[in-house]
Structure 1
Amino acid sequence: MESAATRLENVRANIARMCKPARRKPEDVTLIAVSKTHPVEAIEPLLEAGHRVFGENRVQEAQAKWPELRERYADTELHLIGQLQSNKADEAVALFDVIHSLDRESLLKALAKAMDKAGKRVPCFVQVNIGDEEQKGGCPIAQVPEFLAKVRDAGVPLAGLMCLPPADTEPAPFFALMAKLAKDNGVEGLGMGLSMGMSGDYETAVQLGATHVRVGTALFGARGG
């Protein structure tokens, strides 16, 4: 069995390798270790290996694991990468440093209100339904410019755009479309970026401009294992 440190080293090396032909710097790509469904004992070896950026899918699961871990690893950055219900906005703002799934006006209002109440601004990625899939969350492509304007008006810090391409489909065209959407809507530079790419396709995503990749299996092994 590979150690957590070895898996981490391998993923970082792959990111660096894909940055070269794209003329990008590896340090411009944030590796988010997706720790959803993994217990504290599975997360600690990555923390011990020096990794500090993690992603969780659910507020409740993160609440059960991270307060204890953060007492020992205070410099950890926690990202919410799963769908967020508006009634969990207060808890999400309290716990997470970045939110990747802002996709509708009701959630925007709830998050803006929660941030005002907490006196804390949490950068948010706008999730785009890049494959136009009914079962998936995300702002429809045609509504992205209008929704981005609303986010800016609400005083919610915009971190960039996020997507999940359709499963079992070549992801490159979807990542390329995301990069174009970002460019067309002024979402590049100034600390904003593109959250796209997971264990199976993060290398392609890096080539096509991802600034944040969400990697679980390649770092933790099989989910829940």
Structure 2
Amino acid sequence: MPLTLYTFSGAPRGWRVHLGLVFKGLSADVKYLSASDKDHHKPDFLALNPRAKTPVLATEQGVIRDSIAILAWLDRQYPERPLFGTTTDDAAQSWQIVMECCDYLRDGNHALLSRVFSSVDAVADRGTPENKEFEDAAALVHAEFSYLEEILADGRRYLGGERPGAADAVAFPEIRLVQRGCDTKPIRMTALGFDAQLSRYPHLSDWKDRLHGDAGVMQTMPPHWAA
């Protein structure tokens, strides 16, 4: 039985898993569910996850739910090309970045991009409650971008070290979603201090471009973005 990943196109948690598979040199049958058709509430999927949440990874050993649990399982089941490093210190650093991205960068991105993607591409009027909501959300993301920028400033190629790992798999979708916001809502995002080149964060921009240069990573890009 091959590995089968169930997710939504562009959903960052499922994207993490897809990247983890790529980084480990593994293949999987990726099944993109339709949110508009409510595929995650249909009986076949509920049999895999009664919580109606993605991602889900179906394996010969059973079904694993939750993106971080899946990455951890992949690392134990397929120890080659470890996602969480090879030493105790590597593991501690990788897990720290992974969990901080899950706890802070994901929350900041949700606060910002849920507003950006649902708004018109314009600058909110200064001093209005709407503008403050956008600025507060942008500040959360800038703080996490600065955190990642500092990690990469020591010359390392990837957040996980010399090879991409779990930290990169968790961070990349979030960074790329911000760039997507810049591509589709440039006026709004520029006013909030973001641009598609991530010019305020040169190390983070180089890291993103380095991952973009990997053909396997490009295969994980959301299909609906190409439509």
The TM-score normalised by the length of structure 2 is 0.30
Which structure is higher in strand share?
Answer: 1
Please tell me whether Structure 1 or Structure 2 has the larger radius of gyration of its CA atoms.
2
Q: Which structure shows the higher helix fraction?
A: 2
